[in-house]
Structure 1
Amino acid sequence: MIDIAPNGSGLPGIEQLRVIVGAVMTVGLILAVLALIIAAVAWGYGANSSNPHLASRGKLGVLVACSAAVICGASVTLVNFFWGVGQSV
């Protein structure tokens, strides 16, 4: 039987890679907030100016920004969950 587990110190630069991934997640969340603000403004402007196309684009932008934030925030948990599922196979 083979028993292999992830090795967090097996390669040089692993800790720096963790720092880089954390920074990229932070940038992703900041960009999701910025996109949410821009899409909400477009939605509001489209709704108040009787422009249904702009309002629907704003709604879609809000949904996409919220989805991106959920994916960025839950990425570590999702990977850990599927890692556990893979280990139980």
Structure 2
Amino acid sequence: MSAPTIDIQPNTTGLPGLAALESIVGALLTFGLIAAVAGVAISASAWAVGAHSSNPHVAGKGKSGVLVAGGAALLIGAANTIVTFFNNAGASIR
């Protein structure tokens, strides 16, 4: 006895409101990128103040903040590609 084959694919017609949800997610991506830019600016300022005032703790936190905000922007920008990659990888498993 073999198990039945189930082949369900994502679609854009299954539920009402998907266009609104896509719009909301797009706005969240924009908000995240704006927050990342603010994070880079604030962290770079802290890095500069820490470096010029001979405060290695503040300078180190500023460096870390720049890297974290840059990484966040990278992940936000690549979100569609990352999700598409894993969706295709998962769909190819049989």
**Which TM bucket (shorter chain)?**
over 0.9
More helix by share: 1
CA drift of 1:74 comes to: 0.7
1:65 to 2:63 alignment:
no
TM-score (norm 2): 0.92
Task: Kindly report structure 1 stretches of 4+ aligned residues shifted beyond 6 Å.
Answer: none
Q: How far did 1:4 drift?
A: 1.4
Aligned residues: 89
Q: Residue in 2 aligned with 1:34? A: 38
Q: CA deviation at 1:5?
A: 0.9
TM-score (norm 1): 0.97
1:34-53 residue CA offsets vs partner (Å, 9 max, x unmatched): 00000000001100110000
1:87 counterpart residue number: 91
Question: What's the offset of the Cα at 1:62?
Answer: 0.3
Q: Select 1:4's aligned residue among 2, 5, 8.
A: 8
Deviation of 1:13 (Å): 0.5
Give identity over the alignment, percent.
Answer: 55
Q: Which runs of 5+ in 2 are unaligned?
A: none
